Chains A and B, each alone.
Chain A
Amino acid sequence: MGNILKALSSYLFRHPGQLALAIIGLAVGIAVIVAVDIANESARKSFDSSLTAVTGDATHQIIGGATGLDESVYIDLRLGGIRTIAPIVEGVVRIEGETYQLLGIDIFAETSFRDYQVEGSGSGGSSGAGGVFSLLTEDNGVLMMRRSAARLGLKTGDPFTARVFGAEHQGIVLSLMGDEESSNGLDRVLITDISVAQEWLGLVGKLSRIDVMIGDEDNLRASIEAKLPPDVQLLNAERRNNSLQEMSSGFNTSLTAMSLFALLVGVFLIYNCMSFMVLQRRPIIGVLRALGVTREQLVAALIIEGLVIATIGVLIGLFTGKFLGEQLVSLVSGNLSDHYYSVRGGEVTLAATTILKGVVAGLLATLIAVVVPAIEAVSYPPRLTLVRSVVEESVHNILGWLALAAGLLVIVAGVVLTFTDVNLIAGFFALFLVIVSSALLAPLVVKLMTPLLTIIMGYAVGLPGRIAVRGILKSLSRTGVAIAALTIAVAEIVGMGVMIGSFRENVEDWLITSLHSDIYVAAPARGGGLSLNGIDPELITKLSQVNGVSHYSGARGVKLETENGSIQLRAVDMSPDGGNAYDFLMGYPAEIWPAFNAGEGVIITDPYAYNFGLNIGDSLTLPTKLGSREFKVLGIYRDYNANQGSITINRSAYITYWQDEVISSLGIYLREDADEVAVIDQLNAVGAPYQALIIGSNKQIREMSLRVFDRTFIITNVLYWLAMIVAFVGVLAAALALSLERGKEIAILRALGMTRAQVSKLIVVQCGTMGLLAGLFALPVGMISGWLLINVINRRAFGWQIDMIIPIDTLLSALAIAIVTALIAAIYPAWYATKSAPVSTLREE
């Protein structure tokens, strides 16, 4: 075995370029798989840990109703002798442009729930001035994580300014928590006394929730429940966290889709590079066979060698991937901090599952890449093995089988989709199958397209053009895989492009329909997204009298907490034409509005209906001030808000059930002749003496929403550039392989009188054609993926119903990207091919 290995691998050592290429290809493939996985994981993990850091050891939580949780509930429980409870006020504040979560706590109730690792307190240290208890003595004192403080350039005793919806509050850093390294997901959390949090967040007299620790004794639960007002609920903390987690899963969905693409492209790259090494040595294999080495011995030797090389590649890939992952995470963190929770940038650790994924992908792809051509290489009588064209012939013979396999996979995907309704994993599986099947079809597509392309390139650049195109077909075992990889990468761009493009158009349309008023006035939602007092009724009257205002409709938005997550409830006073703001996907406006105005039921968003399997005529239960009540679903309308969906109810019905007359936002309609800017100025002037208001024109709100939308998808851009890099290496590897393999042909061409420039051009044309082929094939594949992303993945993940739009500019730019990528990949091989003197290559036969 030793000698066989030596005979085989000495070739590689004499062609270190090919060996390096295989290792680089493998490493890049692994790196991308690992990097995307890290980004994915860390987004999920930091969400998890910031959640547990905030939830602490609580088993249950007491959550308020639509109008929040009164402090008195806590006091009553406490007076009632219940000790294992802790009140919490939380909300979001901004310091120097960064988002922090402000957590107001009651020190005395707190200690058994959370461990704050504050310096100067707790283990060992004498509880000096810096401890948690300093919160009691200092006004506006805040505990901050050491990392945050370092980032903000603050130290103990320093003042800082926190902004909460336009209002500024002065705080003082009392103490630092944690150390540089560990942050427990508390990185962006500020701890303060409950009264400070109430003041800053505008929640005076209110709590966000009460954390409860209930052991196994059921009677504690019962006795707490007995003391709660009807609209206040005791919820299981774990279940509630799970549903919060689902929120983050929404964000992960696009990452998962991307990592799927990355995985496939990576695997193809590995396959490409490794199988090339075997194919390249068919002559040696033939000689060894002729010398009497058995098939088993040869295949075993090739596998051993492949695994050794793969191990090196995987190791390099893991480290590169970790580095790449760090970059991605810092990108993700910027993006996610716009959302509810914060992600820590910088260092990441390689999770065991990530490593496993990388290693398995690397070794498995290598194994297949080695075994398939190895078995094939040894399956001929020794003499035939020497002939290169035999490989290609056999590749052409299996095209039909590949197509058949592709067809089967598509059928399986169809079956999976038909028999699963809302399962997201099944959706991804179907997407995966479709992409794999397109990869299987790629060689056939190349074969079918080349005659046409030969003619076109023949006209464009003469006979060298034909050599180039036919060369692609002639080395299909090589080029087919590269084209498949490039196809997947470009299909990803097309698919995501179609999805995001359609989504954006839909959102834009929806914003135009649903933002019906000319100007919106809202009381800032504070704390947990709840505006306590809304807009002062007296102010509302004043606002409606501003010159230019025709009429207005008032609305109240509240959040209802349930174990299935929070529900957005909107109570509206429908203005005469306000009904046009709803685009009903189910139900007829003529039937819906009379019933709605009579308070006979609610209308719900499409995602809400989808998530909870609701239909028109069904009932849903909501926690009201009067206890749980059932409401009939009258209609289902389009909505793209980034929450689990919302429910709209007539305001008079809302007042009856929730006993809350507050109006938290106004939709103002202008008179025909009114000057919008002047009216907004006036509204601001009128409102200023009363309270802080957010006033925005229809257009401003629309633009802001789209900006948020665009920012959400920044990361997808980065990810598909990563996939493109992998595909780029794939094409580069294929092009290099081609010029190595066809070195003799190039030498002949040089001997016949082709200049270096002409040879370079030939290789550039060849790569460009591969790019064109991949780009063309990627268009239908990408559109199908886009369709799946829209109608299966997004639908299953968010419930959003998006009408598919084919953005022509995305298609054209994807095609251009495919070609340009291939052309860039051609640079080195084109140079390489001309560098070697024709003689040395011509000598070999």
Chain B
Amino acid sequence: MSNLRILVPIKRVLDYAIKPRIAASGKAIDLTGQKMSLNPFDELSIEASVRLREAHGARISDILAFSAGPTKSQDALRTAMAMGADRGLLVDTNNELEPLAVAKILKKVVEKENINLVILGKQSIDDDAGQTGQMLAGLLGWGQATQAAEIELKDDVVKVVKEVDGGTETVQGKLPMVVTTDLRLNEPRYASLPNIMKAKKKKLDKETLESYGEGLQGRLEILEIAEPPPRQGGGKVEDVSGLVGKLKELGAI
């Protein structure tokens, strides 16, 4: 029965409650002055790793929160540490990183830090790519369980209940593994002030993008970003006979 060294990659994204606005260029979302927060699916991953520690105690020897992005991403890492991660690692870069690039970086982190369980959010709410976890598992040659609604650890076996179309699917695999989180997994805790204070003292390392080698450039070009067509207004009818008349008009009855 081995100890777990968990890696939790997180991303700082536009706050979930804010309506995105398209930048003047038409090729990006306008983020100037907007509130940024932790990707909600990543909150679930951190919560999941902290709950594993609560259930298995000292067996969880390390929880490493990781992010790749602009310097401000360290706020998100501090939040992750306030929720229970032990230390943070930031790859400080202003480059746009595509999921494959992130997966390659994560592979190097996994190898360097001797990670045996990676818990990621199933997708990030800015690009909705939903690819990083799966690509990472492919690069590492590890088993993967995506869209987890339940995670259970017994000895060196991880049992995951996955959300699938039409219901759920339960799988199990031996460590090391990659798991991605889905909405029903848990309800993330609030970071308490005492923990926020403690998190300020936890270790947060910084690296540059160069340390992760080649092959990280983007391969996709965004051609256009557009809002969905506006919702057509509905018509109002006065009463039941009006409704029936309207339906007849539309040829529905």
Do A and B make up one complex? no
Which chain B residues have a beta carbon within 8 Å of chain A's beta carbons? none
Which chain A residues have a beta carbon within 8 Å of chain B's beta carbons? none
